[in-house]
Structure 1
Amino acid sequence: MKTQETATLVAGDAELTVQSGNGCRIGSLRIGGTEVLRQGDHFGSFPMAPWCGRTENGQFRNGGQVHRLPVNSPPHAIHGTVRDKPWRRARGGGDTQAVFTYDLVEPWPYSGRITQIFELDESSLTVRMGLETYGDSFPAQLGWHPWFLRNLGREDVTIDFDPAWQEERGADHLPTGKRIDPLPGPWDDCFGMPDGVAVTLTWPEQLELKVSGPEQWVVIYDEQPEAVCVEPQTGPPNGLNTEPRLVTPIEPLEATMRWDWRPL
């Protein structure tokens, strides 16, 4: 196990642990004493920045300049550079709010700062993330990769959502650029939700949890027996190349993810 700095937020019977020393991921969310996230150094719920999912062959362009990233999921670069790095906690907050920052360093070729804000109450969690540049403009993405437990001790979770389209996935696990009608699972796929992400997880007779936010893309991954992933993000996989969002000195990139829950 890694040595981790952590912060714990408590509201009612909800308890959230943020592992600031391990990528500023949510290490635990317990609701009424029941853990809802898969445990382990690589799980919980981690931020994806400054890109989400796979970047093709570990390279992207900014204008005429080609940048290369570490190929950590051959042949691609996956999930950004911040998910296992130590973040710094900002002052203030309290029992139900915490703020953390991370300054981008190599192998990301541009300087900037990422901020995450966690706000917990008795029946919801809101996480906000922002990315600002210290200099040059650059393309980027923001998102989150939660690992929700498939089973909380009784029946398996169900996933309910109504996307406008599914990104056709090629043999290389990247979107082909073609939008298709949503297919039945299991999934390791990206979906378009132009009115905002809205996905409901239901553990029968136990808990309902809704994942929502203004972002227009969500990846659903449910191919492992232990957990399911609902990943809101600001663009599709390989978006640095296909759907670039520029971070500029006057326009940061921002994203929000909200979880609302109720016992059943």
Structure 2
Amino acid sequence: MSNHETSKTLLKAGDAELEVDPRNGCRLTSLRIRGTELLRQGDKYGAFPMVPWCGRIELGQFRNGGERHQMPLNAAPHAIHGTGRDTAWRTVSTEGHSAAFTYDLADPWPYTGRVTQLVELAPDSLTLTMGVETYDNSFPAQAGWHPWFLRNLGTGKDVEIDFHPSWQEERGEDHLPTGRRTDPLPGPWDDCFGMPDGVDVTLTWPGLLELKVASRAEWVVVYDEQDEAVCVEPQSGPPNGLNTLPRLVTPIDPLEISTTWSWRSLA
């Protein structure tokens, strides 16, 4: 593998700098605006793709027709966040303010196919696009992103989260949606919300920066139970959706999802 394929990719646009590490699950390891880091640092953090599923799969099992498949229980008793974050991706191209990455689906995922991620940086925004296509059989899949935004950027004031979902997925004791929808409840959250008009969540670090997470996807998980960071996760379906709301990837109908983070200075 060439150095081009193994090294981190650095993109710059205006006052924005983005670092992507294809070897570590093609995660965004750094996003700096005017020199201020927005993402929690560490090999497990940054912002990683969730693919070919998002959140938890109940007991790590899902069906495709008459076949039952077992995924590794990396959040026992469940499987969580897909396999893409644990995979080395290939750098396909780096051109100007954008870069493209890909990897082939493989064990423990039981189906063959390809995942791509396109990263496009602008001075005031970042657009991420992910696609899942099959080489052979149709299969259920999901895709999304799991960013760890720093709760505090050093200004002394924690981030504020503003969004207006249509409903909240009731979460059972097993951390899976029960199938019942409720009115949105106040945080703290580790919960999935429905936004049928598209994900639209605003993060505000008072006096410093406002960042909007937007997507045509209709599902978002918000997680703010840790002191260090908050997560706003646009995704193509709810947790355990491979079982409860399967979206098939077929030879003529690949899965595609995108999200745009746009920001403006408040300083």
Normalised-by-shorter TM-score class: over 0.9
Aligned to 1:87: 89
Aligned to 1:200: 202
Aligned to 2:181: 179
- Written as runs of structure 1 = structure 2, the 5 A alignment for 1:217-232 is 217-232=219-234
Instruction: State the shift of 1:94 in Å.
Output: 1.7
Matched to 1:17, the amino acid is: E
TM-score (norm 2): 0.97
User: In the TM superposition, what whole-angstrom CA distance separates every residue of 1:210-229 from its partner, at most 9, and x where no partner exists?
Assistant: 00010000000000000000
User: In the TM superposition, what whole-angstrom CA distance separates every residue of 1:49-99 from its partner, at most 9, and x where no partner exists?
Assistant: 0000000000000011100100000000000001021100113x3230000
Aligned to 2:3: none
* Pick aligned residue for 1:65 from 64, 67, 74: 67
Secondary structure of the residue that 1:116 maps to in structure 2? strand
Aligned to 2:122: 121
Aligned to 2:153: 152
- Written as runs of structure 1 = structure 2, the 5 A alignment for 1:235-254 is 235-254=237-256
Tell me how far apart the structure 1 counterparts of residues 228 and 44 of structure 2 sit (CA, whole Å). Answer: 13
Aligned to 2:192: 190
Aligned to 1:24: 26
User: In the TM superposition, what whole-angstrom CA distance separates every residue of 1:214-260 from its partner, at most 9, and x where no partner exists?
Assistant: 00000000000000000000000000000100000000000001100
Instruction: State the shift of 1:133 in Å.
Output: 0.1
Moved over 4 A (4+): none
Secondary structure of the residue that 2:118 maps to in structure 1? strand
- Written as runs of structure 1 = structure 2, the 5 A alignment for 1:126-141 is 126-141=127-142
TM-score (norm 1): 0.98
Tell me how far apart the structure 2 counterparts of residues 148 and 95 of structure 1 sit (CA, whole Å). Answer: 25
Instruction: State the shift of 1:5 in Å.
Output: 2.6
Aligned to 2:143: 142
Secondary structure of the residue that 2:95 maps to in structure 1? coil
Instruction: State the shift of 1:109 in Å.
Output: 0.1
Tell me how far apart the structure 1 counterparts of residues 27 and 232 of structure 2 sit (CA, whole Å). Answer: 15
Tell me how far apart the structure 1 counterparts of residues 81 and 96 of structure 2 sit (CA, whole Å). Answer: 30
Identical aligned residues as a percent = 69
Matched to 1:124, the amino acid is: S
Secondary structure of the residue that 2:207 maps to in structure 1? coil
Secondary structure of the residue that 2:86 maps to in structure 1? coil
Instruction: State the shift of 1:41 in Å.
Output: 0.1
Tell me how far apart the structure 2 counterparts of residues 216 and 109 of structure 1 sit (CA, whole Å). Answer: 27
Aligned to 2:113: 112
Aligned to 1:211: 213
Tell me how far apart the structure 2 counterparts of residues 119 and 52 of structure 1 sit (CA, whole Å). Answer: 22
1:161 aligns with 2:163: yes
